[in-house]
Structure 1
Amino acid sequence: MAPAAMEVAPAPVAVVAVPFPAQGHLNQMLHLSLLLASRGLDVHYAAPAPHVRQARARVQGWDARAVRSLHFATLDIPPYATPPPDPDSPVAFPGHLQPLFDAFCDHAGAPLRRLLEELAASHHRVVVVHDNLVAFPASEASRLPNGDAYALQCVGQSFGAGFKNPSHRLVRALGLPVPSPESFLTEEFMELVARQGGLSVPGAGLLLNSCRALEGEFIDAQAETLSLDGKKLFSIGPLNPVLELDVTTPAPSVQPQPQPRHECMDWLDKQPTSSVLYLCFGTMTSLPGKQIEELAGALQSCEQRFIWVLRDADRADIFAEAGESRHAKLMSEFTRRTEGRGLVITGWAPQLEILAHGATAAFVSHCGWNSLLEGLSHGKPILAWPMHSDQPWNAGYVCGHLKAGIVMRPWEKSRETLPAKEIQEVIKRAIDSDEGIAAQSAAKALAEDVRAAVANGGSSWADMEEFVGRITK
């Protein structure tokens, strides 16, 4: 008689991370996944194939060994259109990505269900962490006898409060303008958000990529609201790696290893301390041609050292053929005239390393939450140029409330071309004026507080420890 087969004890916990398929969301979820894996958890990062590839190709601040500690799962969805971005669209929101967003929300549930059922059979517990733009992963987790779900919010809580309720008492107390969603989102995207629950928290709790140093009152208010439904809030940000602030290079222990050091970093090493303006408008923004000309004219005339990341918004599949850059002719002449005091990067830039570098003085940003956290955690004042989504609110919050920046393009002028003269004036204010010096000081002070939050014993560190303890108990 054959001996009885030995039973294999189920593994304790599997975490399944389901990001929304846009770069700022892919990135934040990947950072969270890596942080959880570094604490010994079994983490599965699940997204459509091009977006798994995208997240891995663009990761910053982690070495190859850390990335290999994750399991990457593909959520197969039907083909979708991948049109190019329209830089002249009256609304800057990347509506060209809507076919991808619809296909993901409509069809990723079935492959996710199969993955969860497989993991549920081999683990005591399956915890789904999903972007709170989408609710279907929580629905799939609820089908499991051993499943839980937590939402990750990839925008600031101050924006989240005002988006849901423009009359929120804390929003009113700030006295900042609250732009209407119709001015920064498309109708199609707002309908998708509504179908997915409108930034609700369908599962056991909410993870915030923020910290009390930045949004303490808003975080506490949301925690109190969630507790009324028996749900828990964990403020665990910033999720991005916080690199050592150094004039030359980041600390070897945190410097990314998958790619060789970018050539711009060697150039930065040769520049004086706090002398370089860094300009980057994110991955979901395309500046109109006339605006690019005005910005180039300003940089050419003001004699300011700079690094300018000039690229159009991502397509739905960033690995699809993009064709010749529309900026090639202008940039050929511009780079000749600014040679020696500026660099133009038309590909992917090592933003974390640039922001951590001591030669970098300030950050001209679209004010996406991800970029703001990266800039402020490295002590760089923000020159705000909001484009869409949460960015108009973020610009007002950072510049008007935190006092860690200066508005370069006011939201009320978002459909106008900002002339070179006005751009130059803001650059001069940011670098030389008392207002600029005050913003620099505020940004450095915030960096200390933000870094303390994620350090051992800090508020974000404690919330992360509590979250890990809760899902592994």
Structure 2
Amino acid sequence: MSGDTIYATPSPATVVMVPLPLQGHLNQLLHLSRLISIHNIPVHFVSTTTHCRQAKLRVQGWDPVADAGIHFHEFQTPSFVSPPPNTNSTTKFPSQYQPLCEATTQLRHPMASLLRKLSLTTGRLVVIHDSLMGSVIQDFASLPNAESYTFHSVSAFTMTLYTFKTLCKQLENITKPQHLTKDYLSFEGCFTSEFKKFTSMQHEYAKLNSGRIYNSCSIIEQPMLELLEREENDRNKKLWALGPFNPVDIKKTIKGDKGHTCLKWLDKQETNSVIFVSFGTTTSFTKTQIIELAIGLEKSKQKFIWALRDADKGDVCSDSYVSQVELPKGYEDRIKGRGLVIRQWAPQLEILAHRATGGFMSHCGWNSCMESISMGVPIVAWPMHSDQPTNAVLVTKILKVGITVKDWQWRDEMVLTENVENTVTRLMDTTEGEEIRQRAVQIGSSVRKSVREGGVSWLQLQSFIDHITR
């Protein structure tokens, strides 16, 4: 449901969802909106007109437009245009989004106005906001019936490393010290100084919150979540691990006209025979790196689907975003029948849920990690920036449901054809790869069970619902 209509009928609790307007953040909080609205709690999803459309267009596994419990508020705000990504930059952090992040502060006043209106219609106004939108929702503190909860779009493991920056005994209980190198603890090369400054400023507003929310669960991150929960309890605040947010029981195949071309192609492939290759929405590769990757996939002789797209820029709804990257001459003819190149938006969640998908080469953004883990698909980790290097450690070293194509210490080096070929073959066509896949399948099964009635994630969600409707 869309529009700014404020219904006069009072409700025990009303939730306002405030994401950072980047795809991985929008997607996670829209999925969380579904989980909360199922409990007959009205949810108001707030962003710009452009990014509300983007979130609805790209979400998979359910239809947010058909959910009468979710109301979209689309603010018109200037300066939300990002410059093109610089593929030649030595730092792969997407600094092209810095202007967008800075511009989100303009949402404070329209947000305050909306919160004041909503506070009159409900017993309790619950603001769930991205950790990087703290300044935008700060005026909730002036409302007598409002409280806020900070959502962290990263793994609990990443937040544990932020919180405990030295190898203390607590971290040794999580993983062996040699897995936590100096690089991971310092986050060298993960962020620009400008973004660090923006993050620090936003995190100051977390002091106003009543607790924190993670898209994770104890099946995969129990030790880290326990550490973070103790930290929150010391502040007399709460923590909930409500993940996975994404739907886990979606159809493995979608037939007929409604299915994406790649899903119809997957229907014809053998179980666990295809590796899906996708690197998210914030990074663009150089032409040289794309060629190395292309030839490596070809030489591996494994079946693959490759979502070949540039980083998001501007309004994704008004642009077809067809990649113009040139592949080697005759490449798509040579791989025909064995490989499929998609140059537009790919239905990632549905691809990962398909029985034919046996691996996922990924940048290790947390949204992608949770989708892959929940679907029982092992990961070939290729981290680029932000929390991705630490997520890669979690996936490969702790959960052991993946392998690394490019370790973070070699982040400035080109990934060559033979690296791609050997890593893909290692996962898809060796005994070691099958053992990794079986661990991924087992963990995925446990994660899916956790969201069913009586499971640990189900209980966490019930606890949160009970808390906000108390």
Q: TM-score, normalised by structure 1?
A: 0.92
**What's the % identity of the aligned pairs?**
39
2:269 to 259, 271, 274: 271
CA distance in 2, matches of 1:466, 1:86: 45
Residues 1:417 and 1:68: Cα distance change in structure 2 (over 3 Å): farther
The equivalent of 2:19 in structure 1 is 19
CA distance in 2, matches of 1:242, 1:337: 35
**Deviations 1:90-142 (CA, angstroms, capped at 9, x unpaired):** 111111011010010x2111010010011112222211000112322452211
Contact 1:361 1:380 in 2 (8 A): yes
SS state of the match for residue 191, structure 1? helix
SS state of the match for residue 330, structure 1? coil
1:213 to 212, 215, 219: 219
Cα displacement (A) at 1:317 = 3.1
The equivalent of 1:165 in structure 2 is 164
SS state of the match for residue 327, structure 2? helix
The equivalent of 2:351 in structure 1 is 354
Q: Does 1:400 align with 2:406?
A: no
Contact 1:17 1:29 in 2 (8 A): yes
The equivalent of 2:407 in structure 1 is 410
The equivalent of 2:4 in structure 1 is none
The equivalent of 1:382 in structure 2 is 379
The one-letter code of the counterpart of 1:457 is G
Cα displacement (A) at 1:331 = 6.5
CA distance in 2, matches of 1:269, 1:323: 26
Residues 1:302 and 1:84: Cα distance change in structure 2 (over 3 Å): same
The one-letter code of the counterpart of 1:271 is Q
CA distance in 1, matches of 2:351, 2:23: 19
Q: Does 1:184 align with 2:161?
A: no
Q: Choose 162-171 or 401-410, whichever is displaced more.
A: 162-171
CA distance in 1, matches of 2:83, 2:36: 35
Contact 1:299 1:424 in 2 (8 A): yes
SS state of the match for residue 171, structure 2? helix
**Deviations 1:224-266 (CA, angstroms, capped at 9, x unpaired):** 11112211111110101103574x449xxxxxx9x92101111
The equivalent of 1:196 in structure 2 is 202
Cα displacement (A) at 1:169 = 3.8
CA distance in 2, matches of 1:215, 1:33: 23
CA distance in 1, matches of 2:190, 2:65: 39
Contact 2:79 2:99 in 1 (8 A): no
Q: TM-score, normalised by structure 2?
A: 0.92
Q: Does 1:460 align with 2:466?
A: no
CA distance in 1, matches of 2:84, 2:329: 23
The one-letter code of the counterpart of 1:216 is Q
Residues 1:137 and 1:467: Cα distance change in structure 2 (over 3 Å): farther
The one-letter code of the counterpart of 1:59 is V
The one-letter code of the counterpart of 2:279 is F
CA distance in 1, matches of 2:139, 2:29: 18
Residues 1:323 and 1:18: Cα distance change in structure 2 (over 3 Å): closer
SS state of the match for residue 133, structure 2? coil
Cα displacement (A) at 1:457 = 0.6
The equivalent of 2:114 in structure 1 is 115
CA distance in 2, matches of 1:439, 1:102: 41
CA distance in 2, matches of 1:26, 1:64: 13
Residues 1:80 and 1:234: Cα distance change in structure 2 (over 3 Å): closer
The one-letter code of the counterpart of 2:79 is P
The equivalent of 1:242 in structure 2 is 248
The one-letter code of the counterpart of 2:209 is G
| Residues 282-301 of structure 1 mapped to structure 2, 5 A cutoff | 282-301=280-299
Contact 1:170 1:218 in 2 (8 A): no
Residues paired across the two proteins, number: 456
Gaps of 5+ in 2: 1-7
Gaps of 5+ in 1: 1-7, 251-256
Contact 1:404 1:443 in 2 (8 A): yes
The equivalent of 1:86 in structure 2 is 86
